A and B are shown apart, each in its own frame.
Chain A
């Protein structure tokens, strides 16, 4: 039996320990905010926080997640919207939107570690998150806008 915390709530899982966290979140818990994009950690659509670190849930097994605190987009902000979500709306970042949850989770982890990220910090932190619609220019602006809000 695997015990873990998802968005602050205790959960237990007695399925395959090799199952990736992404499919547990989506198919078992019904938390579908985190997306399946590549299955091998190359696109970032599945990004969640594992003990506060941005993590690709599609390549993180349940065995690895055991005993950890998981935060998904559904639990990113308890009251209203996170500053990044507000900035994403203000800058009108999303097109299809499918990757944006992963982008926001990745950006949230970035801002947790760097209050005022430079362009290079953003490039380094966000290069693992693909947006096929090509909203990168706005993502960069939105991260900076949110960073301004949060200080």
Chain B
């Protein structure tokens, strides 16, 4: 063995030096490990005969192991990223086996959020596949005694082109492993016309398991000797247990123990909320025991929080000058000059994630080390949080990632996993913590409540001569810094500072708001309230100017140009503006496309029926949506049809992308129709699907048509971008159908019924 081959996986785990970020793949050598070195969480790829990348291994029987390092919550990234590897390798998809990675920094970023799995890992996956193909071709050429230039790959084989001789990947794996791993610069990636899978797509690798009940979610994780826990959390954020009586709880059959969990030290971040845990032999006994607890709480300062008065505070803040976050020209001077001035307030309440699988985690603390099994979007975050809570090194926390029963951003926060780990340490047994739906709704990291104020002066042809917009919302950084009250650039950028209109005078402001609940990322995040407000206010102005909403929207977007962000902190979702410029021409194009496909202006709409349109860029993807609604005399809102056009650059898996945009229309329906979390005296008022309803089959769009722009641009997000324009187009359609303007979500406040 060469020196480099002695760098074992074990050494990596104890702080060795071969850690490679995803983006430097291929320049490091990943040796085959001997069976003796095997750790329970090594991958089969690690031990395969040919193992040129952390993501990939090939065995002599031709099996190709591909490691899915991102979490699967329904977006199909666990299938789509390996598909990119398989394509570049020319592998037969039927001979690919996908393995789920544990949390491990050698895979680079694993926090499956922000719609960036494909965008951030597309190149790395291609390189992994191309690296193995390069080595297999070298091995075949050597075996035949011919130059590599006479050899090429075909489906799972290397072919000698002049003689048509072939050697299978399995046969070549051993010989290929003797070659050095090629440099990234030496790799030759397949041309687009040779792609097998990319752009054509593939259904989920787990599809059969999903329909037979064999798929293992966090809820389904089991190990020998485990006990079940259910935790009564402080009803108000930051509250503490004053005293408790567990006598009755301990009498419940199956209840073993009642244990306090310390309250968190502010800021909350991802720490457990604290409270009283009931440990039992089964989930139900733990739930029953909890009902018998008698706890006296010290609610703390957030007891003063009530949504009604808070809404008034946000609105009042937004009616006064706030912090300027972007300015073009002089809006105030233009307002003075005249033209008709329009003002409007928009409001979106707190929103909960309500993934179908409530928070759940299994943890075993043993011999100073923790092993976790959890439906997490963020296994490395779970390692960090659990290590801190238990006072052990991160390397001593192993986090296995199960399938996720939905995530939508909630499962990026590992508070529930840390809870299981803390309880395992206290009990000395493996503990599975199961949150009830009520826990899930009441102790979420909510999408921020937001109030937005607009003022615009309309000039000739109804076009705005000046535009002022102010937003006020408790920011996500408040979970890490209790004094954070202003919107941060990462969230102000989300459809707010990047308003795509060609305006001569524009001022964008943001005001302060203190958080009283945990605020977090929810599918589309700040784009939900920003997109709704801007696109609905635009529709208001179109009607005020007596213009067709589509023509007016296109007029405001203006001629194709690249937005100049000089003087604005615009993170562009973590991507460079060189690779992913903000091109208004692409937004214009999807708007025109959806108008054409939906036959805008050509369909007849009877009484109580109408269509609305909206366009929005988020997560680097351009989307425009037309929604048709019918409102009955009884005020019942139906959505017969949705058309949505998107430009997400290269779409690797069109089928999965289509599904994401169908789902986004349903998610948006839930937000707009009924989505509202409120608090009274610091306690969340809602608890389950009866008071936090989400859309059901009889309430959702009858048909959602998805049109994808064929693009050579680099891949962008598809999980989140469909939601914001849907919500705005839906509300604009309600106006078209009823003449009633939705400025406050959800639409139940409109009093249609």
**Chain A residues near B (Cβ < 8 Å):** 15-16, 19-20, 23, 26-28, 30, 32-40, 42-43, 45, 72-74, 81, 85, 88-89, 92-101, 104, 122-124, 126-140
Contacts and interface: CB of A to CB of B under 8 A. Distances in A.
A131 B213 contact: no
Contacts of A95: 74-76, 659-660, 663
B662 A134 contact: yes
A43 B213 contact: no
Contact of A37 (B212, B285, B356): B356
A20 B662 CA distance: 35
A105 to B, nearest CB: 9
Given A27-B282, A130-B356, A140 B697 contact: yes
B99 interface: no
A118 to B, nearest CB: 13
A124 B403 CA distance: 30
Contacts of B123: none
Contacts of A43: 356, 437, 689
A36 B688 contact: no
Q: Interface majority SS on B: helix, strand, loop or mixed?
A: loop
A136 B697 contact: yes
A45 B358 CA distance: 12
Contacts of A34: 213
A39 B437 CA distance: 7
Given A26-B220, A135-B659, 13 more contacts: A27-B228, A40-B688, A72-B213, A74-B213, A96-B73, A99-B356, A100-B211, A104-B211, A128-B696, A131-B356, A133-B663, A134-B669, A136-B697
A113 B694 CA distance: 27
Contact of B696 (A36, A81, A130): A130
A138 B662 contact: yes
Interface stretch (B363-371, B544-552, B698-706): B698-706
Nearest to A37: B356
B664 interface: yes
A14 to B, nearest CB: 11
A134 B700 contact: yes
Contact of A134 (B214, B663, B703): B663
A72 B358 CA distance: 21
Interface string B430-458: 00001011100000000000000000000
A36 B659 contact: no
B392 interface: no
Contacts of A23: 282-284
Give the interface size bracket for B toward A. 35 or more
Interface stretch (B135-143, B201-209, B303-311): B201-209
The 5 closest A-B pairs by CB, nearest first: A33-B213, A134-B666, A98-B405, A96-B74, A95-B74
B497 to A, nearest CB: 29
Nearest to B210: A97
Most A C-beta atoms less than 10 A away, residue of B76, B219, B696: B696
Contacts of A20: 284
B74 A89 contact: no
Given A42-B689, A96-B406, A35 B356 contact: yes
Nearest to A31: B213
B674 interface: no
Contact of A32 (B213, B287, B690, B697): B213
B696 to A, nearest CB: 5
B210 A36 contact: no
B280 to A, nearest CB: 10
Contacts of A132: 354-356, 406, 408, 667, 670, 694
